[in-house]
Amino acid sequence: MQASGFAVNDLLTNSRNPELTRGRVEFCALAIGRYRLRVCDVSTLLGKHRNSVTNWLNMGLHLENEDSDFKARIDHLDAEISGRT
């Protein structure tokens, strides 16, 4: 997810840095929420427990509905990834 400023390897670390957590939330919101990947596949990719992935997804879905800045960021990342910029 280089468009976000994070590589997948960054998201694989055990760091609980707030910026990395935000990156994981964005990644899950896109990968699962928009692109319909499965939670178990994303948890395997990231090497994280599926409960963590589900929590990041839920946080992302909540933010997408409640925070216009977060939604705009996800929309922008989605457009960049899909080549619609």
The pLDDT assigned to 1 comes to: 46
The pLDDT assigned to 82 comes to: 84
- The closest alpha carbon to 29, from 56, 69, 67, belongs to 56
Residue 8: both structure tokens together? 């997948």
The pLDDT assigned to 72 comes to: 96
pTM: 0.88
Q: Is the dihedral of CA 83, 69, 56, 21 positive or negative?
A: positive
The pLDDT assigned to 7 comes to: 83
Quickly list DSSP for 37-80: --HHHHHHHHT--HHHHHHHHHHHHHHHHH-HHHHHHHHHHHHH
Residue 34: both structure tokens together? 């928009």
- The domain that contains 78 carries what CATH number? 1.10.1750
Mean pLDDT by 10 residues, the chain (85 residues): 73 90 95 96 96 98 97 94 77
Structural domains counted in the chain: 1
Residue-number span of the structural domain to which 44 is assigned: 2-82
